[in-house]
Amino acid sequence: MLKEFEISTSPITFEKSRTIKKDGNRSMKIYFSIDSHSPNILRLFKEIPFMYAKEKQERFTKEVDKFLKNSEHLNNEWKLYEKVMQMHSQGLGRRKIFKKLELPKKYFYKINAWIHYNQKPLYYEEKLMF
């Protein structure tokens, strides 16, 4: 249903019972859920304008704004990841990279995970979305 916008959802399910309205038309309920992975929600928010209960819409908008502000931190981490991987491809080990970049202690283990375990920073694959 939302594939053309690259928004992933669960399969659509139909309620078995149908209702006959006063005008003679039949109606039935259709259900699906939207994957709550942050980039998926951002795509939904950016691509499809939708009406929602006013209070919930305001809360949702605030949360999206908060997430986008945090995306600056994500962007910095992605740049650092790319720098680390470039330095590693030039033959530097994690200890030399760590010292050369003068990073905080928490990055020592992140660098190790990036280099040796092929881990990537949060949402790295979706970084073009932000």
Residue range 51-67: mean pLDDT, rounded:
79
Three-state SS for 24-38 is CCEECCEECCECCCH
pTM score above 0.85: no
Instruction: For residue 63, give the nearest of 12, 32, 71, 102 by alpha carbon.
Output: 71
121 burial level (CB within 10 Å; 0-12, 13-18, 19+): buried
* Statement to judge: residues 27 and 76 lie in one domain: no
* Statement to judge: residues 44 and 99 lie in one domain: yes
pLDDT of residue 31: 85
Q: What is the pLDDT of residues 5-31, one digit of tens each?
A: 888 888 888 887 788 888 988 888 888
The DSSP annotation for 11-27 comes to PPEE-S--EE-TTS-EE
The boundaries of the domain holding residue 22 are 1-35
pLDDT band at 116 (very low <50, low <70, confident <90, very high): very high
* Statement to judge: residues 86 and 112 lie in one domain: yes
pLDDT of residue 130: 56
Total domains in the fold of the chain? 2
- Percent of the chain having pLDDT more than 90? 32
**The two structure tokens encoding residue 87:** 């330095």
Q: What is the pLDDT of residues 36-47, one digit of tens each?
A: 777 787 777 777
pLDDT over threshold 80, residue 53: no
